[in-house]
Structure 1
Amino acid sequence: MTERQWTIAQASALTGLPESTLRYWERIGLVRPVERDLSSGHRRYSEDDIDTLDTLGNLRAVGMSVADMRRYLTGRQRGDDAAGEQRALFEAHAQRLAEEIDTLELRRRYLELKVRYWAARERGDLDEATEIAALIRPLIDRVNPKETTT
């Protein structure tokens, strides 16, 4: 019995990944070279290829870098022997995301205060604008830290 194979268009539809991404990942060696139809030369994706692409699509969706996706795939081939490395990889990525969320939350808070500040100025309420400005000042160095030269 012959294993089921999919064209690049079908693989794209199954995985939700653009064809350009499938070609790119193959070109940079993130995924192994895809088998080609002998007569046409068109790519033919196997079930294993689709599974790998699905996995990579999930990692991409959570913002994992190509380098980390490579590390994941290397560990995946080793199975449970790489469990600690895989856990560490995901812990590190989760920490990076937590830091990004903190940064975004800080930026959002700064912008909210600026909106309130300018709304107060627009109403002519300079006392409220002054109070809001006092709340903004401590955020400025956190939003836009200045490099210090020593």
Structure 2
Amino acid sequence: MTLMTIQDAARRSGLSEPTVRYYEDIGLIGPVAREARSGHRRYGEQDLDTLQVLACLRAMGMRIEDMRTYQANRLLGPPASGEQRDLLLRHAQRVETEITTLRVHLEYLRAKAQLWDARARDDAADEAEAAARVQAMLPSLQAVVR
């Protein structure tokens, strides 16, 4: 079994070294093997697998508490499948809501850019059309801001 330094584990997982240490400190990973003489951490393939999973969950915006639940369910295996599914579906719903919000923001930005483009070209008709589009979007924008 090949053991890795924290630098190697961090690089291969996509996490920073401080994050890897933090995840060990709070029990999301580990305990991690240590060299007897130096006390330096040494990560195995299973540790790396766990770090890569955590990196993905973190990238999706999952909270630490939900990461803990996810990790506990991974260890439980099939008996925790339903809870694992529900946890992931809750996060999928949150991501879907974020995507919807970002689409509204994107459309608003494009409409405002169209308005300013019309002003730069001194095109009153296009400016009025863009202003109407911006006005029409305000209720949607306000709804996602709340």
Q: TM-score range by the shorter chain?
A: 0.7 to 0.9
Question: 2:77 is paired with a residue of what secondary structure?
Answer: helix
Name the % identity.
44
- Matches for 1:48-87 after TM superposition, within 5 Å: 48-87=46-85
Aligned residue number for residue 125 of structure 2: 127
Distance 2:90 2:71 in 1: 16
Question: 2:68 is paired with a residue of what secondary structure?
Answer: helix
Two-structure CA RMSD over aligned residues (Å): 1.9
Distance 1:110 1:13 in 2: 38
Query: Where has structure 1 moved over 6 Å in runs of 4 or more?
Result: none
Count of residues in Structure 1 that have an aligned counterpart in Structure 2: 145
1:89-110 residue CA offsets vs partner (Å, 9 max, x unmatched): 1111111111111111100100
1:124-149 residue CA offsets vs partner (Å, 9 max, x unmatched): 222221222111113223323587xx
Distance 2:120 2:12 in 1: 53
Gaps of 5+ in 1: none
Shift of 1:60: 2.2
Distance 1:16 1:124 in 2: 49
Distance 1:29 1:141 in 2: 45
2:22 to 18, 21, 24: 24
